[in-house]
Amino acid sequence: MVLINGYTRFGMVDVPGDLEVPWWIAPHVRDFASLAKSSAVTEAQREAAEVEPALAALTQRLAQTAAVAHVAANVKGSEGFAAGVSATLAADIDEFCGTPPRPKHVNQAGLAVSLIAASLPANDPAKAALVSQAERLQNLRGKLSAAA
C-alpha cells in the first residue's frame, strides 16, 4: 500500500487547522507535544509491509502507461495511441495476473488500477482506460469466484 500511495493522493487526510497529513499520523496531530514524545513515525516505518517486486513494477507501469494517455489526448489523430494505452494496460495486468489468472493477483491488480483511476480527475484521459480495466478485472474476479 505504501507504493500505491506514492502514485495516488490517498496517503493524506485533512485535519483541523487546514492541514494535510499522512493518514497514519492523523490521530497524533491534535496534540503536537504528544507526537513529539512518541515514536509513531519510527513505528509506522518499521511496521510497513514490504511491497512485492511484481506489484511494485505493475503499479509503476500502470502509472507510466496512464501518462501516455495524456499525450494521446493532445495529439491530433491519436486514436492509435489511445488503443495502444488500453492494450498495454491489459497486457501488463494479464502478465501480472498469470495464466490462468490467480485470484490474489487479480485482486491486487484491481486495487492498484482502481486507486490510480480514483486519484485522477473525471475528465482525465487516462481515467477511462483505467476504469475499463477495473471493470474487466471485476468481471474476471466474478468468473474466478464462480468457478471456485
- 117-131: pLDDT as tens digits: 888 888 888 888 999
C-alpha distance from residue 78 to each of 28, 68, 82, 96, 146 (Å): 49, 11, 7, 27, 39
Find which of 86-95, 97-106, 117-126 is predicted with most confidence, using mean pLDDT: 86-95
> Among 9-18, 47-56, 76-85, 94-103, which is the least confidently predicted range?
9-18
- 15-70: pLDDT as tens digits: 655 566 666 666 655 555 665 666 766 676 666 667 688 888 999 999 999 888 87
Domain ranges of the chain: 2-47, 53-147
Q: What is d(CA 125, CA 67) in angstroms, rounded to the nearest whole number?
A: 9
Q: What is d(CA 86, CA 83) in angstroms, rounded to the nearest whole number?
A: 5
Specify the pLDDT at position 133: 93
Q: What is the mean pLDDT of residues 134-145?
A: 90
Specify the pLDDT at position 2: 46
Return mean pLDDT, the chain: 78
Q: What is d(CA 97, CA 136) in angstroms, rounded to the nearest whole number?
A: 13
Three-state DSSP class for residue 14: strand
